[in-house]
Amino acid sequence: MLNVSIYRYNPEVDAEPYMQDYQVDTQGKDVMVLDVLEKLKTEDPSLSFRRSCREGVCGSDGLNISGKNGLACITPLSSAVKGNKLVIRPLPGLPVIRDLVIDMSQFYAQYEKIQPYMINNSPAPAIERLQSPEERAKLDGLYECILCACCSTACPSFWWNPDKFIGPSGLLQAYRFLADSRDTATEERLANLDDPFSVFRCHGIMNCVQVCPKGLNPTKAIGHIRSMLIRSAT
């Protein structure tokens, strides 16, 4: 039997959060953490968490699993269980709505701040805008972000300033548009980021890189943005 300890909090019932212990029979199989949560929910339907695709592409089930942020649906027990114990908490740093469900408004607000859409005011051609495979390759490692918030909620700079520091996820997306040969708003985008907090609160701690379930590298993207900001200032 696997010992599982889960963060519980229902604002209508509980004065404060607590850890609830469960025992789960995994029949020795190396299932995913989400499978364990689903099994527990059949026994205790009051346990709340988000989930959707169960294959690591929708970004719903970002959780703090035995101390590390990751997606429950693609984290096998073998990489999360320590001493026959699995500890599941909500992603840190954002308000908890209930149990493992956090309020992500601040995270989404930072995403919206970077104008996460193509800006190109030249008249569109009758077909697609052309882009070479080399230009397109610059978007690899950027566009794949699933907005799960594992990175931003692992970032101490985001914990301190979630309202002012864009955070690794938002900055990765900022660079996704800066790097796109079809986007023409580079100056405007850089101007919007050019303050002491939006980008420069990143201290290169690289927790974001360590936890990204898609293997992306926000620190590198932030480095590129820094260089662009410094270049545009000189």
Partner 1 sequence: MANMRTMSFDAVIVGGGGSGMRAALQLSQSGYKTAVITKVFPTRSHTVSAQGGITCAIASDDPNDQWQWHMYDTIKGSDYIGDQEAIEYMCQTGPEAIFELEHMGLPFSRTEEGRIYQRPFGGQSKDFGNGGQAARTCAAADRTGHALLHTLYQGNLKSETTFLNEWYAVDIVKNEDNAVVGVVAIDIETGETVYVKSKATVFATGGAGRIYASTTNAHICTGDGVGMALRAGFPVQDIEMWQFHPTGIHGAGTLVTEGCRGEGGYLINKDGERFMERYAPNVKDLAGRDVVARSMVLEILEGRGCGPDGDHVYLKLDHLGEETLNAKLPGILELSRTFAHADPVVEPIPVVPTCHYMMGGIPTNVDGQALTIDKEGNDQVIEGFYACGEAACVSVHGANRLGGNSLLDLVVFGRASGIFIEKQLREGINLKEAREADIELAMTGLNRINNSADGEQASVLRAELQTIMQNYFGVFRRGDFMQQGIEKLNALRPRIENVALDDKSNAFNTARIEALELQNLFATAEATAIAAEGRTESRGAHAREDFQERDDENWLCHSVYFPDSKTIGKRGVNFNLKTREAFEPKIRTY
> For residue 182, how far is the Cα from the chain centroid?
26
139 touches partner 1 by CB under 8 A: yes
Could you count the other beta carbons within 10 Å of the beta carbon of residue 220?
14
13 touches partner 1 by CB under 8 A: yes
Candidates 26, 92, 143, 226: give the one binding partner 1 (CB under 8 A): 143
Report helix, strand or coil for 69: strand
> For residue 99, how far is the Cα from the chain centroid?
18
Stretch of 104-112, 157-165, 196-204, 222-230 contacting partner 1, by CB under 8 A: 104-112
180 touches partner 1 by CB under 8 A: yes
Asked if 89 and 64 touch (Cβ cutoff 8 Å), the reply is yes
- The encoded tokens of residue 215 equal 């293997």
165 touches partner 1 by CB under 8 A: no
Handedness of CA 182, 187, 190, 192 (dihedral sign): negative
25 touches partner 1 by CB under 8 A: no
Candidates 109, 120, 188, 203: give the one binding partner 1 (CB under 8 A): 120
Q: How many residues does the chain have?
A: 234
Give the binding-site size for partner 1 (rule: CB under 8 A).
56
Stretch of 16-24, 139-147, 150-158, 196-204 contacting partner 1, by CB under 8 A: 139-147
Contacts of 29 (CB under 8 A, 6+ apart): none
> Whole-number minimum distance, CB 200 to partner 1, in Å?
25
Q: How far apart are the first and last CA of the chain?
A: 62
Query: Residue 85, CB half-sphere, CA atoms under 13 Å: how many?
Result: 8
Q: Label residue 108 exposed, middle or buried (CB < 10 Å: 0-12, 13-18, 19+).
A: middle
Q: Which is nearer to partner 1, 2 or 139 (CB)?
A: 139
Candidates 77, 99, 151, 169: give the one binding partner 1 (CB under 8 A): 99
Taking CB under 8 A as the criterion, which residues in 36-75 touch partner 1? 41-42, 45-46, 48-60, 74
Q: Which residues bind to partner 1, rule: CB under 8 A?
A: 10-13, 41-42, 45-46, 48-60, 74, 76, 97-99, 101, 103-104, 108, 112, 115-118, 120, 124, 126-133, 135-136, 139, 143-144, 146-147, 177, 180, 182-183
